[in-house]
Structure 1
Amino acid sequence: MNINDTIKRINELAHKKKSGQPLTEAELAEKKKLYDIYLGFIRGQVTQTLDRVEFVEADGSITPAKQKKTQ
């Protein structure tokens, strides 16, 4: 299942719940699994973005964020 299908199914379950229909135990379990997949995807995107961050030092050198020490 790709992320778009995951989001679509999360939204379907949310609309069902908002319409006043209770979710079954199976649907609640599915919702939890889908949220875990979604959050894993988002965390992966954030990690990939942060891995590309670089700092340009005053002397012109470039330091990757992973190697940068906090002061």
Structure 2
Amino acid sequence: MTMSKEEEKRVTDRINELYNKKENEGLTPAEEKERKELHQKFLANFRAAFKQDVEDMVILDKNGKEITSERAKRAQRRKGLRKD
């Protein structure tokens, strides 16, 4: 499940704050731990959103014939996006 836009903005803003502090004055061990946790949370959200986009994609060849992978079709069926 992906983060809400507000949560995503909060996380990225805090990551950027910590990055700037690290570059200018350094981080405490607690801040370094927080930075790593937020980075992992951000990456997990990015991967989930990317996977969602790929699974929802329908691919057509130049003649208009669908060539979507079977794996993507199964995911789309599970989500109720396909009737075939």
Offset at 1:30?
Answer: 0.2
Is 1:43–2:47 an aligned residue pair? Answer: yes
CA deviations on 1:9-40 (whole Å, 9 max, x unpaired) are 00000111111x12001001000100011001
Q: Aligned pairs, how many?
A: 66
Q: Which runs of 5+ in 2 are unaligned?
A: 1-5, 72-84
- Larger RCO (CA under 8 A, 6+ residues apart): 2
Runs of 4+ in 1 over 6 A off after TM superposition: none
One-letter amino acid of the structure 1 residue matched with residue 41 of structure 2: I
CA gap 1:14/1:60 in 2 versus in 1, 3 angstroms: closer
Identity %: 27
RMSD: 2.2
